[in-house]
């Protein structure tokens, strides 16, 4: 087994009431687990790829052999995106960032509420399944963008700092069709320490 399912860094019910326990159980134990096991299945017979990091696989997606590329895009992307997502959240999350990250947010978006609006619009406006991201580009500037399915900004040369999963499996049990309500609630979980660490790397 080249890749392993990371444990959730908190209890399944730790993000209540914003994200419910049942959603977290199914999301981590079934959906995330499936991406990891399908990635491992896809890499059988590709010893050279099994030894790479998930980040390097996704960064170098376009250089992978045809026999592995689509499976790595979908399942390696799914594995990596959820690794980021779980750590981007914390039971004591929410509020606003401080320090250099906040300075960069103000430079890029004007103020924190404008970042929220841009992320919410990217997440709510993503047709079908995907993610909304706060990313750092190669110049160190912050941008917001949506990606489809399990695509990760790393493939486009961007560094993902903060991602929110807008697949229906991320919110439907509690929020049904109300994706904007899920996004509003999700802000109460954001682990700004984790986002700042990714920004400063
Ligand atoms: Mn998901």
Cis amide bond preceding 17, omega within 30: yes
**pLDDT tens digits, 105-144:** 999 999 999 999 999 999 999 999 999 999 999 999 999 9
Q: Is residue 28 part of a domain?
A: yes
Residue 25 has pLDDT above 90, yes or no: yes
User: What does the pLDDT read at residue 2?
Assistant: 85
- Ligand 1 centroid distance, CA of 198 (Å): 20
pTM: 0.97
Query: Percentage of residues in the chain with pLDDT exceeding 70?
Result: 100
Q: Same domain, yes or no, for 174 and 115?
A: yes
- Final residue before a domain boundary, out of 37, 58, 87: 87
Nearest Cα neighbor of 79 from 103, 45, 52, 105 is 52
CA of 103 to the centre of ligand 1 (A): 30
Indicate whether 9 belongs to any domain: no
> How far is ligand 1, taken at its centre, from the CA of residue 179, in Å?
14
77 CA to centre of ligand 1 in angstroms: 11
Residues with CB under 5 A from ligand 1 (ion): 165, 167
Q: Which residues of 107-118 are buried (b: 16+ CB within 10 A; e: fewer)?
A: ebbeeeeebbeb
54 and 122 part of one domain: no
Query: Is residue 25 a part of any domain in this protein?
Result: yes
- Tokens 């790479």 map to which residue? 52
CA 107 to centroid of ligand 1, rounded, Å: 31
């Amino acid at each position: 087994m080249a890749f392993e399912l990371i444990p959730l860094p908190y209890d399944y019910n730790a993000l209540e009431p914003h994200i419910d326990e049942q959603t977290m159980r199914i999301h981590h134990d079934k959906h995330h687990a499936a991406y990891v096991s399908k990635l491992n299945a896809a890499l059988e017979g590709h010893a050279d790829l099994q030894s790479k990091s998930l980040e390097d696989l996704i960064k170098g997606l376009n250089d992978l052999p045809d026999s592995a590329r689509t499976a790595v895009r979908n399942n390696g992307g799914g594995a990596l995106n959820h690794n980021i997502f779980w750590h981007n959240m914390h039971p004591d999350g929410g509020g606003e960032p401080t320090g250099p990250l906040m300075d960069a947010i103000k430079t890029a978006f004007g103020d924190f509420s404008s970042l929220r609006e841009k992320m919410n619009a990217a997440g709510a406006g993503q047709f079908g399944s995907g993610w909304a991201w706060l990313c750092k580009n190669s110049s160190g500037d912050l941008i917001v963008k949506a990606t489809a399915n399990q695509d990760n900004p790393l493939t486009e040369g961007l560094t993902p700092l903060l991602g929110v999963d807008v697949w229906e499996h991320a919110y439907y049990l509690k929020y049904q069709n109300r994706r904007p309500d899920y996004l509003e609630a999700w802000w109460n979980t954001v682990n700004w320490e984790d986002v700042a660490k990714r920004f400063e790397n």
